[in-house]
Amino acid sequence: MTYLDEILKSRRDTRHFTEEQIPDAVLEKALQAGHWAPSVGLTDATKYYLIRSVEMKKAIKDLFLDYDQKAIALTENEPQKAAYKALKLEAIEEAPLGLVICYDRSVLNNFTIGTVGSNEAIKFSSVCAAQNIWLSLTEQGYSMGWVSILNYYQFKELLGLPDNMEPIGYFCVGKPATDYDNQPMLQQLNWKQKQQNPLVEELSILHQSKVETTFFEVPNEINSAAFAKAVQYKIDQKTKPTGSLGVLEVLAKQIAMVFQTLEPKIVQPNIVVFAADHGIANHGVSAYPQDITRQMVTNFLDGGAAINVFCKQNEINLSIVDAGVNYDFPMKMDLISAKIGKGTQSFLHTAAMSKTEMQLCFSKGATIVKTIAKTGSNCIGFGEMGIGNTSTASVLMSVITGFLIEECVGKGTGINDEKLQQKIEILKKSIENYTGEADLESKMAYFGGFEILQMAAGMLEAYRNNMLILVDGFICTVAYLVAFTKNPLIKKNTIFSHQSAEQAHKKLLDYLKVDAILQLDLRLGEGTGCALAFPIIESAVAFLNDMASFESAGVSSKKL
């Protein structure tokens, strides 16, 4: 065994430290080793922050304890819960030094070799730096412990890090108080045994994925003028002045026409939230870091988001789709996996996705809705989550409708006026940089988002299955715009739940010549507008089915 092998084998995720301070020379040598680590595109994307403040350590420890409780709740049984609680998973306050290792996503503002496949390559470079630091410390008789059980957004705010700086974790650094019997601590405490040898498999067969492109088909017209008259007659014969129920009458007629019955019923309503990340987010177009997408998907799955509350309130089934989040979720999560990639590329410099990826979006989006339709559901709402997706939606709206980008851009997650102007300039430059073909498919691939195109495909599939389609806010309406461009007949099945606070949404609704049910100044997304509008839709169905007619109630229908 070589000396290097010994260092590699003895490197430990350390949670027990002595009080001995770290000499400057030791720290400098370790950080230099981190600087020597591989970095994608030879970028200087890794930055280090040192923490010795007792007050800061305590605050970070409190963040850990908060998320540690969430981790405890995720254990699978009582013995595992007890075993987890017995583990020492950090030494934030005991270790003499805290080290925060960050990657700077602003390097992606310029073309960076090696990031075309995934923007995460920047993060991977910082992980390589962390490993080099660990090995250097081990060789010098010191060590680190990686603390990742944190809310990274709160952690970032606590440290006052700029928007572009993303931490990969908090590291406790110091002189180890034990060698854990020369084995990983989790192994020493029998939490889990790591197998002796690496997993290796040689691949020799190519697997070609088949991408369906049948989403261009247009279903036949099924509604008749005679049936429309029958529905209107039933509505007009209810015990009320003609037209007095306003929008409810419009909805009732639309729903009856969709289902071709005078007694329509909403069956197993379902809202599907599609989540994905966007390369354009690396240019600071959002008030929040990209990792919020991953955090919010976890929140959806934990039942803690607004859409969870409203779906539960209105007895609506909720499905969450990973259309392309820049994160690998655990397999056991109740999550529909339709990941095209770990976020799109930045369309400031290149196409957001390839045409093959665009085709996959349509294939996967259609499959998800087809599966839901097979359960008997006849009503589906669409929602989304993705940091940066208002920018993507704004550009798609501009290139499809011909509106100036300034007319299509809003504050999204709540950026200030200065950031809004920067956002407009970035998106304007992105459109100016486009040199591709003028057809819709080319523009969708260049400027699209994985979740937006999957929603468009899902809407088309919902129409093919004659489902009632509920559209949420601005981003979902842009997805509808794509679907409508493919098949204008989809309009007959579609209900627009609300007019959002995004300034471009009203313009887009007017362009489509449609009206929204609600105007509540919402700008949350997630499909919340669909869930909030659903009771009104149910009321429209209820009055059509259950309200007495003039004849059945013995009330005169003559006007005074």
Asked if 269 and 381 count as a contact pair (C-beta separation under 8 A), the reply is yes
Tell me 513's DSSP state: T
3-state secondary structure of 317: strand
Q: What's the distance, CA 59 to chain centroid?
A: 29
What is the set of active-site residues? 526
**CB-based burial label for 193 (10 Å; 0-12, 13-18, 19+):** exposed
Q: How far is CA 461 from CA 271, 365, 469, 526, in A?
A: 15, 8, 10, 20
Asked if 258 and 493 count as a contact pair (C-beta separation under 8 A), the reply is yes
Asked if 550 and 239 count as a contact pair (C-beta separation under 8 A), the reply is yes
**Residue corresponding to tokens 């990973």:** 322
**Cβ atoms within 10 Å of 210's Cβ, excluding its own:** 5
**CB-based burial label for 317 (10 Å; 0-12, 13-18, 19+):** middle
Structure tokens at 355: 């045409």
Alpha carbon distance 289, 283 (integer Å): 10
Q: At what angle do helices 389-401 and 450-464 cross, to 10 degrees?
A: 60
Residues in the chain: 560
Q: Give the chain's end-to-end CA distance (angstroms, integer).
A: 103
Alpha carbon distance 544, 238 (integer Å): 8
Asked if 445 and 354 count as a contact pair (C-beta separation under 8 A), the reply is yes
**Cβ atoms within 10 Å of 267's Cβ, excluding its own:** 14
